[in-house]
Structure 1
Amino acid sequence: MSMGNLEIGVCDDSLEDLKRIQIAIYKAAEKLGERESISIHLYKDGISMYKDSQSQGFSLVFLDWEMPEIDGFDLAGQLYLKNPHLKVVFVSNYESIVFDAYEYMPLWFVRKSSLERDMLKALQKYLGITTKVKLRYRMRDGFGMKHVHLESVVYVECNGHALTVWMRNQTYLQMYGTLKSIENEWKDYGFVRIHKNYLVNVKSIEEVGVRTVRLFNGMELDMGKNRRKEITEIVNR
């Protein structure tokens, strides 16, 4: 599993176009200073991408509109069911699809005839609506610094003064500090304290139960006593 904290999925039935899109994403990320923070996963069909979508924890996907079996629009609809906060960019040779795609609320459109220019705008758009923080995390031989997109964080777990930041791609960073300090820093970016040991990204919450919170990946976390009403109101905003 890559330690890149922004997981990007690309689906196109043309192997040549898949490679072109991948190169365009890397070039745009390089220009924006994000080359080291992204991981790209390539798929030649929508069914394979859909099956991998939960385990890979995509934050951003690029979908070809015209594909056999399942086209980009239908695939977007299925992916939204798994992750309503997913950002989708449609890629096509046909500019006319712009009007047909509005119901899927895409982040941007990329024309294959203007791949590099449109790709740069698409990544700029995505990065403009996400927040990035710098975390000092524990390594085997000491400590390191890493920029993390908060969109990619699922929750933070506290065990004494040891904090574990769990990412959508199932990787994690270990830090030292207090959960209260992280809560104060991140509370304006969609994070809620559900328990003395858990700070959770609201976008990752699937359901608020009686004593637990269920996340998009099926995991359940304990919820503090008397916090259900407050957390439910925050999730439903």
Structure 2
Amino acid sequence: MIVIIDDDPVFGEILKRKLHEYFKDKNVEINVLRYFDEDFLNKNYGDIEMLFLDIELEKENGIDLASKYREKGHNKMEIIFISLHDNFVHDVWAAYPLTFVRKSRLDYDLERCINLIRRRTRRKNAKILVKNEMIKITDILYIKSQSNYVYYVLINGEKIRDRAKISTLEAALEEYNFMRCHLKYLINVAHIKDLKNDYVLLETERVSVSPSKYEAVMQAFAEYRFRRD
């Protein structure tokens, strides 16, 4: 589901029509709202993939609304801000939006936005072959090397042993937010919850970080959080 929140009903319908053109082969449901209806958003939270949110609503500020919504733990949906004015582009990032669409450059910005979403979707759905089974890459917390084997540790706690070189996996998974934090460990930066001097917390798992890798891990985590692709 895609939701558009804009107090200008004419623009809302224009954007809806353009989005239908991009997703016509997927029969996506698109809803247009005149105000930030939190009850509707909460009710449909699991189904909403994208939220196009006008910054200048009649009585509310879209950036503030989105920031407060994010603070409540609503981080699954992609937020795309829309506005008549270019000068807001530097103010929106506190709410962790995917990108910014200017009404004055709708076609150009919308195409860029859709391409961004498609790249993210490709990464999100990518899989890797592990012991004759296809595993979603996003489900992997980290990979540990031991002798001639590696252990894949998944979000659900499952551990899968396979014969492979961690250096080969490091090269293959680099574009999917994985990095080497230790001679024996390859971690999924997307799952970092905390970073200390000698370890990183991945969900509830602690993984050692080499002193020589600490700065690189910290930078990779910062870049991941603020990256827009």
Per the normalisation by structure 2, the TM-score is: 0.54
- Aligned residue for 1:109? 100
Give the residue type in structure 2 aligned to 1:194: N
- Secondary structure, counterpart of 1:70 in structure 2: coil
- The answer to whether the aligner puts 1:77 opposite 2:67 as a matched pair is yes
For 1:29, which of 23, 36, 39 is the aligned residue?
23
Q: Which has the higher relative contact order, 1 or 2, with Cα contacts under 8 A spaced 6 or more apart? A: 1
1:13–1:44 CA contact under 8 A, matched in 2 = yes
Q: 1:230 to 1:61 in 2, by over 3 A?
A: closer
Give the residue type in structure 2 aligned to 1:38: V
Give the residue type in structure 1 aligned to 2:109: D
- The answer to whether the aligner puts 1:62 opposite 2:24 as a matched pair is no
- The answer to whether the aligner puts 1:40 opposite 2:30 as a matched pair is yes
2:2–2:49 CA contact under 8 A, matched in 1 = yes
- Aligned residue for 2:205? 233
2:49–2:77 CA contact under 8 A, matched in 1 = yes
Alpha-carbon deviation of 1:105?
2.7
1:73-123: per-residue Cα shift (whole Å, max 9, x none)?
Answer: 022113322422432111111000001112223211111122222212111
Q: 1:74 to 1:181 in 2, by over 3 A?
A: farther
* Aligned structure 1 segments of 4 or more residues deviating by more than 6 angstroms: none
Q: Matched residues in 2 for 1:70 and 1:53: separation?
A: 16
How many aligned residue pairs are there? 147
Q: Matched residues in 2 for 1:14 and 1:22: separation?
A: 12
Which blocks of at least 5 consecutive residues in structure 2 are unaligned?
141-153, 159-190, 192-200, 207-220, 222-229
Q: 1:111 to 1:193 in 2, by over 3 A?
A: closer
Q: Percent identity?
A: 21
Q: 1:193 to 1:99 in 2, by over 3 A?
A: closer
1:195-235: per-residue Cα shift (whole Å, max 9, x none)?
Answer: 89xxxxxxxx9xxxxxxxxxxxxxxxxxxxxxxx986228x
Give the residue type in structure 1 aligned to 2:57: M
1:65–1:91 CA contact under 8 A, matched in 2 = yes
Give the residue type in structure 2 aligned to 1:23: R
Q: 1:39 to 1:233 in 2, by over 3 A?
A: farther
Correspondence 1:1-237 to 2 at 5 A: 7-30=1-24, 35-36=25-26, 38-46=28-36, 48=37, 50-56=38-44, 57=46, 58-80=48-70, 81-131=72-122, 150=125, 184-186=134-136, 188-190=137-139, 192=154, 194=156, 232-233=204-205
Q: Matched residues in 1 for 2:94 and 2:86: separation?
A: 16
1:194–1:231 CA contact under 8 A, matched in 2 = no
Give the residue type in structure 2 aligned to 1:106: P
